[in-house]
Amino acid sequence: MLNHTSRVRAKADRITATGHIARLASFMAFNPQADQKIRLRLDIAFVSGMEYNTVMNSSDTILQRLRRASGFTQRELARRAQMSNSSLVAYAKGRQDPGLATLIRLADAAGCDLVIEVRPRMSDPEIRTLELHRAVALRIEANPTDMIAIARNNLALMRESDQYGRSSFYFDTWQVLLEGPLSDLLRVMASTDAAAKELRQASPFSGILSDNERFEVLMATDGVRVAAKSGRPLDEVRREMLGKIEIAAGRLAGTESASR
């Protein structure tokens, strides 16, 4: 009999460590005074790369992924799960709902774990920040040397302005990421993990995106949301947002002139 508890792992913001990460976790547990950079690398390794969405995967999508992961044909997967091929065909075509217990059986037959994750929905500002960092990640991927140099300079300035060291942990984490493999940096920047969301609130990537690039991200997040809620055309919302930005820029220019 299948142990359903062992087959379903409810994940909240962390992925399970395996291999060298598990050994590193064990080392840290018995060496509380270990180097801070090792501890930061362990934290970074735990950040998941989940893509954000508010729609559950359908059963047919799950079955497709199980077949790809296992390499089994549909008939072989059905045989290993001890069910008829016709039932699996009905599930794959969406004609029947297999239910959680059946999906667990199929995942077990495919040598996979079925993961159920419960996450709070991201707020509008968190979604905007995520998309800004994804845009920055594309720039870094295209030109890592120059973009990371900008981030390092920003980070140094941020440390200087953090008089009481309240954000030093976040700065240290970014430092490790900027010095480490590019894949780790890009993964954390685009992750919806709770630790990544928190880390992005102290971001050292100011100045990498142009004003136009930032505005396009703003339109793709806040602009689309406002248009959908108000029922107005997106072009109308775009003109309104551009107008507000121009007014704000004019006020800032006036303030700077008055202070001279």
Residue 201 lies in a domain: yes
Confidence of residue 193 (pLDDT cuts 50, 70, 90): confident
> Where in the sequence is the domain holding 167, given as residue range(s)?
124-209
Is residue 220 located within the same domain as residue 141? Answer: no
Confidence of residue 34 (pLDDT cuts 50, 70, 90): very low
pLDDT at 255: 63
Please list, in sequence order, all residues whose beta carbon lies within 8 angstroms of the beta carbon of residue 57, skipping any fewer than 6 positions away: 65
Dihedral sign, CA of 50, 51, 55, 61? negative
Dihedral sign, CA of 31, 36, 39, 45? negative
Residue 103 lies in a domain: yes
Report pLDDT digits (tens) over 233-246: 999 999 998 888 88
Of 58-62, 117-121, 133-137, the least confident: 117-121
Residue 42 lies in a domain: no
Is residue 4 located within the same domain as residue 110? Answer: yes
Task: Pick left, alpha or beta for residue 3 (phi over 0 → left; psi -120 to 50 → alpha; otherwise beta).
Answer: beta
Q: Scanning the structure block, which residue is given the tokens 């089994």?
A: 72
Is residue 153 located within the same domain as residue 202? Answer: yes
Alpha carbon of residue 36 to chain centroid: 24
Residue 128 lies in a domain: yes
Is residue 96 located within the same domain as residue 165? Answer: no
pLDDT at 47: 52
pLDDT at 246: 80
Q: Domain ends where: 88, 120, 152?
A: 120
Name the packing angle between helices 144-161 and 124-142 (round to 10°).
130
Is residue 19 located within the same domain as residue 115? Answer: yes
Contact call for residues 117 and 12 (beta carbons, < 8 A)? yes
Distances (CA, A) of 85 to 66, 78, 98, 109: 15, 5, 13, 14
Number of domains within the chain = 3
Could you count the other beta carbons within 10 Å of the beta carbon of residue 184? 17
Confidence of residue 18 (pLDDT cuts 50, 70, 90): very low
Residue 49 lies in a domain: no
pLDDT > 60? residue 117 = yes
Confidence of residue 16 (pLDDT cuts 50, 70, 90): very low
Confidence of residue 115 (pLDDT cuts 50, 70, 90): confident
Report the residue count for the chain.
Answer: 260
Is residue 3 located within the same domain as residue 91? Answer: yes
Q: Scanning the structure block, which residue is given the tokens 């029922």?
A: 231
What is the C-alpha end-to-end distance of the chain, expressed in Å?
Answer: 79
pLDDT at 191: 87
pTM (two decimals)? 0.60
Contact call for residues 122 and 52 (beta carbons, < 8 A)? yes
Residue 44 lies in a domain: no
Is residue 59 located within the same domain as residue 141? Answer: no
Is residue 87 located within the same domain as residue 9? Answer: yes
Is residue 116 located within the same domain as residue 3? Answer: yes
Q: Domain ends where: 170, 185, 209?
A: 209
Q: Which of 100, 106, 38, 30 is nearest to 72 (CA)?
A: 106
Is residue 128 located within the same domain as residue 93? Answer: no
Residue 43 lies in a domain: no
Residue 47 lies in a domain: no
Contact call for residues 188 and 196 (beta carbons, < 8 A)? yes
pLDDT at 222: 92
Q: Domain ends where: 87, 102, 120?
A: 120
Is residue 21 located within the same domain as residue 83? Answer: yes
